[in-house]
Amino acid sequence: MQVIKVDGHEADDVVATLAGQVVNKGFRVVIGSPDKDFKQLISEDVQIVMPLPELQRWSFYTLRHYRDQYNCDPESDLSFSEYNIQYSSFLFDMFIDYILRRVSIFNI
């Protein structure tokens, strides 16, 4: 397994950037993480696998689950502030070239 680290940036920002690149290439993405902040990335093409410690297993969390729980889509959820959206766009643009130069495993 290849490990990607970008000094000075949080792992979730790097994961979001890579997920966006993979989706833009026509693939679907599954993110395995207990971090609920990844819910903002959920779409038809991005799912999350989250641990359920009380059941001692992992469970898929999809766009349908998000809509059922919050009664809206992630992109229209006001709990994700405009600042976070702008910051994510900035990080996406900033990381794209850096990651593409260093991650040949994705061939993107």
How many independent structural domains does the chain possess? 1
Question: Is 4 among the domain residues?
Answer: no
Question: Is 3 among the domain residues?
Answer: no
pLDDT at 74: 82
pLDDT at 45: 93
57 backbone φψ class: left, alpha, beta (φ>0; ψ -120 to 50):
beta
Alpha carbons 95 and 86: distance in angstroms, whole number: 14
Question: Is 49 among the domain residues?
Answer: yes
Q: Give 80's pLDDT tier (boundaries 50, 70, 90).
A: low
pLDDT at 86: 45
pTM of the model: 0.67
The residues pairing with 61 across neighbouring beta strands, listed in sequence order, are: 48
Question: Is 85 among the domain residues?
Answer: yes
Q: Which domain holds residue 27?
A: 11-102
Alpha carbons 84 and 89: distance in angstroms, whole number: 9
Helix (H, G, I), strand (E, B) or coil at 69: helix
pLDDT at 8: 83
pLDDT at 2 over 70: yes
Question: Is 108 among the domain residues?
Answer: no
Q: How far is CA 39 from CA 27, 49, 97, 103, 107, in A?
A: 18, 10, 25, 24, 26
Instruction: Look up residue 3 and give its two tokens.
Output: 């490990």
Which residue did the predictor score with more confidence, 99 or 48?
Answer: 48
User: What pLDDT digit, counting tens, does each position of 3-31 carry?
Assistant: 787 888 888 888 888 888 899 999 999 99
Question: Is 107 among the domain residues?
Answer: no
Question: Is 1 among the domain residues?
Answer: no
User: What pLDDT digit, counting tens, does each position of 29-62 carry?
Assistant: 999 888 888 888 899 999 999 888 888 888 889 9
